[in-house]
Amino acid sequence: MPKETMRTHVIVPKVLVDSVDELVGRRSRSRFFTKAVEEKLAREKLSKIAREVMGSLANVDIPGWETSESTVEWVRASRKLDDEKLRQLWENK
């Protein structure tokens, strides 16, 4: 079933519209903006949830999270792996 849609008026800098049009074309502009907003909303919701659960693992023993420094390194390593996986996906297209 298709999503319900509506027309709305949004003020966007011309340079952004031009860049989107150059990348995806005028006929795909709405789809691009919709996807961008969906991604931003997902990040904001995830950030809100992260703030709500912050500290909930304070008394839990998790390997790699023993200190602030080790946690930072654990996150960096995890992000590096994610970046490598994304790069491989792009290279295989």
How many residues appear in the chain? Answer: 93
Which residue from 16, 60, 67 is spatially nearest to 37, judged by alpha carbons?
16
The residues near 12 (Cβ < 8 Å, ≥ 6 apart) are 33
Burial class (CB in 10 A: 0-12, 13-18, 19+), 24: middle
Q: Which stretches of 25-66 are DSSP H helices?
A: 29-53
pLDDT reading at 1 higher than 60: no
pLDDT digits (tens, 9 = 90+) for 40-88: 999 999 999 999 998 887 788 888 888 889 989 999 999 999 999 999 9
- Predicted pLDDT of residue 2: 61
Distance CA 23, CA 12 (A): 16
Confidence of residue 93 (pLDDT cuts 50, 70, 90): low
Q: What is the pTM of this model?
A: 0.59
Range 24-47 average pLDDT: 96
